Structure 1
Amino acid sequence: MHLRKLGPFQVSAIGLGCMNLSHAYGAPVSAEQGERVLLSALDAGVTLFDTAALYGFGANEILVGRVLKPHRQKFTLASKCGMQGVDVNGDGKLLRVIDGRPQTIRKTCEDSLRRLQTDVIDLYYLHRWDKKVPVEDSVGALSDLVRKGHIRSIGLSEVSAATLRRAHAVHPIAAVQTEYSLWTRNPEIAVLDACKELGVAFVAFSPVARGFLCGQLQDVNTLDAKDIRRSMPRFAPDTYAANLKLLPAYQQVAQEVGCSPAQLALAWLLHRGEHIIPIPGTTSVAHLAEDLAAVDLRLSPAVMARLDALINQKNVVGSRYNAQGNSEVDTEDF
């Protein structure tokens, strides 16, 4: 497995986003299947595992902690705070809440350490910037956790270049995590270059466009009732039908290169910059192996240019988030 720099760590050029095993795309997989995927990733050379307090309202951290505890020295562990499940109404039902207050960050870290069965989290992200709290205050709380030895480095998720610079002035930021793929180009506005300038790794989540670039999802009406894509404008039936028209030419490039559509999407990201680390998620060991093989692909400048022209912010239909989701992120928008 090729390596890339992430803060003080050298990690696999492709990491594993663990969310899919417990959260967001329908019913979670069985504990046994989750264990198979995690251990297969470790065996294949993946050394960056990414989870969060939000995923499954703690269930994903519990899974990752239980399965990977015996191998803790072999990988870089990333988790997130600032967005988690809270019993707001006192009825036992957890609701997603964004809360970046220092006291909440400290409590969330304690809970995550317990669930992950570890003494230290290598990379701890602010999952969303709580706009009611100055980012300097939230990052200050994270820097206190670094000094106490509870976390080793700090990350930010879905922030703008300006917010990154404000945070970086308080404490060095190791990584920014934001959605990035051929069909989500927002990082190219400013934050991708800001990361490169500041020596910050850029971790790309949803690198295969939440499955769109795999080419296998033809009918969004087949999605699980609880699949988060049902609330995303790009996956509304009419807009998705329009976006599907982009796929045949893209699949033709994959065929010419001699790879799968998913591998082409990941290779494109890896070629966009040495500081970019994609973290695809999957519930399948076979798909995991397919994704990881993308590290060995070499794309010519001509192929990169074709891909850039085929799928980009000018021809993808629909916003990536609904109104609420857009209000919660700080990323630049076209």
Structure 2
Amino acid sequence: MTDTPKRIAIEGSTGYGLMSLTWTSPDKIVPQERAFETINNAIKDGVRFFNSGEFYGTGDPLLNLKYLKAYFERFPENRSKMIVSVKGAIDPITLTPDNSPENIKKSIENIISFFPNQYVDLFETARMDQKHPVEEVVKAIVPFIESGNVGGISLSEVKGETIERANKIYLISCVEVEFSMWSTEPLTNGTNDVCKKLGIPIIGYSPLGRG
């Protein structure tokens, strides 16, 4: 697809998921100023990887991205210190994935509008929709890498065989899956084995469970 496929380097062993700042019960949405303080503290502690979502908002699905936009306007010097992955290509109301090329294009164009220079480090389809093969999904993202709007590709909740197929089209930067004492599927469905073989970092979320 492109002459110079590349992976975005994921730095550090710990990342910070931004979901619970804005996608929670209405009374628990974190005020913007406190959210900014939390992100700044994470950066001071050496965190470089952050995860957001196009649908991470209670009442307003775009609230998480709106927080990020305001954060980058307030602290532009911190943008270069962060690798931000954003999930998209999913209906914000029904949470139904739509991996059609048209919807991926729509999703990416929306996401990058919240970022400085219309550039996001990693775009990630929130889930596979079981209608469009992963090869088609990756091919739909690559033009945005070539145009300089997306740095690399992440996958979410996929098995080893899907990762291998995707990586043949374009180098996958990371794979996000739930991994904890209560959710060990990545060890048995090929995800861990394939990522280890291909040198792809696994982003394990909810490591202590979901409370």
TM-score (ref. length: structure 1): 0.56
Q: CA deviation at 1:203?
A: 0.4
Match of 1:142 in 2: 141
Aligned to 1:227: none
Partner residue of 2:172?
A: 173
Count of residues in Structure 1 that have an aligned counterpart in Structure 2: 198
Say if 1:25 and 1:171 are closer, same or farther in 2 by CA, change over 3 A.
Answer: farther
Range with bigger deviation, 39-48 or 177-186 = 39-48
Q: Which one has more relative contact order, counting CA pairs under 8 Å at least 6 apart?
A: 1
* Cα distance between partner residues in 2 of 1:46 and 1:148: 28
CA distance in 2, matches of 1:18, 1:77: 10
- Work out the CA distance in 2 between the residues paired with 1:206 and 1:24: 15
Give the alignment of 1:196-215 within 5 angstroms. Answer: 196-211=196-211
Whether the aligned pair in 1 keeps the contact of 2:10 and 2:49 (CA below 8 Å) is no
Pick the aligned partner of 1:77 from 84, 87, 96.
84
Q: Hey, what's the Cα distance between the residues in 2 that align with 1:25 and 1:152?
A: 32
**Could you tell me which amino acid in structure 2 is paired with residue 72 of structure 1?**
R
**CA distance in structure 2 between the aligned counterparts of 1:158 and 1:125, rounded to whole angstroms:** 10
SS at match of 2:42: helix
Which sections of structure 1, spanning at least 5 residues, go unmatched?
A: 1-5, 86-93, 212-334
Deviant stretches of 4+, over 4 Å:
none
- Alignment RMSD: 1.7
Are the aligned partners of 1:78 and 1:121 in contact in 2 as well (CA < 8 Å)? yes
CA drift of 1:19 comes to: 0.2
> How far apart are 1:116 and its partner, in Å?
3.1
TM (norm. structure 2) is 0.87
What percent identity do the matched residue pairs reach?
A: 28
2: CA distance, partners of 1:29 / 1:53: 17
Equivalent residue letter for 2:71: V
State the partner residue of 1:151. 150
Alignment of 1:221-260 (within 5 A): none
The counterpart of 2:64, out of the listed 60, 64, 73, is 60
Partner of 2:3: none
What secondary structure is seen at the aligned counterpart in 1 of 2:95? strand
* CA shift in 2, pair 1:149/1:166, >3 Å: same
Helix, strand or coil at the partner of 1:137: helix
Structure with greater helix percent: 1
Query: Who is 1:12 aligned against?
Result: 12
Cα pair 1:77 1:122 within 8 Å, conserved: yes
Contact 1:181–1:208, Cα closer than 8 Å, also in 2 = yes
